[in-house]
Amino acid sequence: MSAAVRPKLELLRPELVESIVEEALAVLDSQGMFIENEEALGLFAEAGMKVDRPVRRVFITPALVRKCLASTPSTITLYDRRGERAYTVGGDEVHFDPGSAAVRILDYRDQVERAALTDDVVNFIRVTDGLDHLHFQSTGLVSGDVPDMVADSYRLYLALLFSGKPVVTGTFKTAGFRPMCDMLTAVRGSAEALRAKPLAIFDACPSPPLKWSNLTTQSLIDCARAGIPSELISMGMTGATSPVTLVGTLVQHAAENLAGLVICQLARPAAPVIFGGSPSSFDMRTGTTPMGAIETMMIDMGYAQIAKSLRLPTHAYMSLSDAKVNDAQSGLETGLGAVLAGLAGINVVSGPGMLNFESCQSLEKLVIDNETCGMVYRLLAGITPRETPAALPLLEAVMRGGEFLTMPHTRQWFRKEHVYPKIADRDTYDAWVASGRKTMNDRAHDEVERLLGSRPPDAPPAAAAAELLRIMKAEAARYGLDRLPPVKGLDA
Partner 1 sequence: MSSPEIFESMRTAVIEGRTADAERLARQAVAQGINPNEALERGFIPGIRRVGELWEQGEYFLPELVTSAECMKAALAVLKPELDRARQESVLRGKVVIGTVEGDIHDIGKNLVAAMFAANGFEVFDLGADVKLQAFIDKARAVQADFVCLSALLTTTMLNQRRFMGLVREQNLAGSFKTLVGGAPVTRKWAEDIGAQGYAENAMAAVRLALSLFPQAKERS
Which residues are near partner 1 by CB under 8 A?
A: 36, 103, 148, 151, 172-173, 207, 211, 213, 237, 239-241, 244, 284-287, 359
CA distances from 89 to 233, 296, 322 (A): 16, 22, 27
148 alpha carbon, distance to own chain's centre: 23
Q: How far is the CB of 194 from partner 1 (least distance, A)?
A: 27
Burial state string for 168-203 with b = 16 or more CB within 10 A and e = fewer than 16: bbbbbbbbbbebbbbbbbbbbeeeeebeebbbbbbb
Enclosing H/E stretch for 57:
strand 57-59
Q: What residues pair up with 316 in beta bridges, in sequence order?
A: 349
CA 337/CA 202 separation, integer angstroms: 22
Neighbours of 41 (CB within 10 A): 19
Q: Smallest distance, Å, CB 207 to partner 1?
A: 6
CA 38 remoteness from chain centre = 29
Q: Which is nearer to partner 1, 113 or 369 (CB)?
A: 113
**Residue number, 128 or 241, with CB nearest to partner 1:** 241
Residue 391 C-beta: closest distance to partner 1, Å: 55
Distances (CA, A) of 197 to 80, 200, 207, 466: 9, 9, 30, 21
Comparing CB distances to partner 1, the nearer of 180 and 237 is 237
Q: Which is nearer to partner 1, 202 or 282 (CB)?
A: 282
Which is nearer to partner 1, 19 or 207 (by Cβ)?
207
Rank residues 284 and 332 by Cβ distance to partner 1 and give the closer one.
284
SS3 content of the chain, % helix, strand, coil (to 5): 45, 15, 40
Name the residue nearer to partner 1 (CB basis): 34 or 202.
34
- To partner 1, the closest distance from the beta carbon of 388 in angstroms equals 57
- Is residue 207 helix, strand or coil? strand
- CB of 273 vs partner 1, minimal distance in Å: 23
Pairing between strand 104-107 and 360-361?
parallel
CB 215, min distance to partner 1, A: 9
Q: DSSP secondary-structure letter at 350?
A: E
How far is residue 216's CA from residue 235's CA, in Å, rounded to a whole number? Answer: 13
Name the residue nearer to partner 1 (CB basis): 286 or 388. 286
CB burial class (10 A; 0-12, 13-18, 19+) of residue 295? middle
With respect to partner 1, which residue has the nearer C-beta, 170 or 272? Answer: 170
Shortest Cβ 57–partner 1 spacing (Å)? 13
Task: Tell me the closest approach of the beta carbon of residue 148 to partner 1, in angstroms.
Answer: 5
- Contact assessment for residue 419 and residue 378, using Cβ atoms and an 8 Å cutoff: yes
- Min. distance of Cβ 75 from partner 1 in angstroms? 33
